[in-house]
């Protein structure tokens, strides 16, 4: 019976050394902080990937109808601004809704629980403003890649090729980075994201090209 009693005591009281206990708390806090940073980084990578695919597909789609460099540049810029605003507003509303739900839950359970624990949960929630700014910035940074690589190239073929090439590199990089931060297979995730981006650009180009041929809307402006 004695060994069991000692084992139970050691389980209930992991360490009687205050210094060791403090080190355990610091280690746990470090793990929590690392996980929080990883989540923010992974969200930023996904936001940049959204900006990359959205603006590249938009520019390719416009290029199927209008061979002019100015039209693709303006469409890419419009997609960057509209997408960044949409991401920011959506993230702000989402985080604020999460915050309101947490506050309502805390108010209902505060009478029968530890108030300090509820306050820690509320403090753990991200700031809606910071989350919105981070989402908009990530989307804009991803969208800049196809916009700057192909928006100022004059020949139509070279412009489309530049957008596709830069987008492919960005997709592979963002896919690998997101997989690394999420603990997934880097190669498999990078290939999956790359194929998905190619599919989005191909579908957009094909549908807009068919639309322009059906309604004879192809524009030859510079």
Range of the domain at 132: 36-105+125-214
The neighbour count for residue 160, using CB atoms within 10 Å, is 20
Distance CA 77, CA 74 (A): 5
- Asked, for residue 135, whether it belongs to a domain, the answer is yes
Overall domain count for the chain: 1
pLDDT of residue 218: 62
Q: Per-residue DSSP letters for 30-88?
A: HHHHHHHHHHHHHHHHHHHHHHHHHHHHHHHHHHHHB--HHHHHHHHHHHHHHHHHHHH
Q: Is 196 exposed, middle or buried (0-12, 13-18, 19+ CB in 10 A)?
A: middle
Tens place of pLDDT for every residue, the chain, 222 residues?
Answer: 444 444 444 444 444 554 444 444 444 444 445 555 566 677 788 889 999 999 999 999 999 998 888 999 999 999 999 999 999 999 899 888 888 888 777 777 766 555 555 555 555 666 788 888 888 999 999 999 999 998 888 899 999 999 999 999 999 998 888 888 778 888 988 899 999 999 999 999 999 999 888 887 665 555
pTM for this predicted structure: 0.73
Closest CA to 128 of 97, 83, 86, 84: 97
- Asked, for residue 183, whether it belongs to a domain, the answer is yes
- Asked, for residue 12, whether it belongs to a domain, the answer is no
- Asked, for residue 62, whether it belongs to a domain, the answer is yes
Distance CA 217, CA 222 (A): 15
Q: Do the beta carbons of residue 178 and residue 45 sit within 8 Å?
A: yes
- Asked, for residue 1, whether it belongs to a domain, the answer is no
- Asked, for residue 18, whether it belongs to a domain, the answer is no
216: left (phi > 0), else alpha (psi -120 to 50), else beta?
Answer: left
């Amino acid at each position: 019976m004695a060994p069991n009693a000692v084992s139970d005591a050691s389980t209930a009281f992991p360490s009687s050394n205050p210094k060791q206990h403090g080190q355990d708390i610091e280690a746990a806090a470090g793990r929590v902080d690392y996980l929080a940073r990883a989540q923010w980084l992974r969200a930023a990578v996904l936001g940049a990937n959204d900006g990359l695919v959205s603006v590249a597909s938009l520019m390719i789609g416009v290029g199927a109808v209008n061979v002019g460099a100015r039209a693709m540049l303006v469409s890419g810029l419009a997609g960057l601004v509209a997408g960044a605003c949409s991401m920011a507003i959506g993230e702000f509303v989402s985080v604020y809704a999460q915050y309101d739900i947490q506050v309502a839950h805390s108010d209902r359970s505060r009478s029968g629980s530890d108030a300090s624990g509820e306050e820690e949960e509320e403090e753990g929630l991200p700031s809606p403003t910071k989350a919105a700014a981070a989402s908009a910035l990530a989307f804009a940074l991803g969208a800049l890649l196809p916009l700057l690589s192909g928006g100022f190239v004059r020949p139509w073929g070279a412009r489309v090729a530049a957008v596709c090439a830069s987008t492919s590199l960005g997709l592979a990089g963002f896919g690998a980075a997101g997989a690394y931060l999420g603990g997934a297979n880097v190669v498999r995730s990078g290939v999956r994201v790359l194929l998905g981006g190619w599919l989005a650009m191909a579908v957009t180009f094909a549908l807009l090209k068919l639309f322009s041929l059906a309604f004879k809307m192809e524009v030859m402006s510079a």
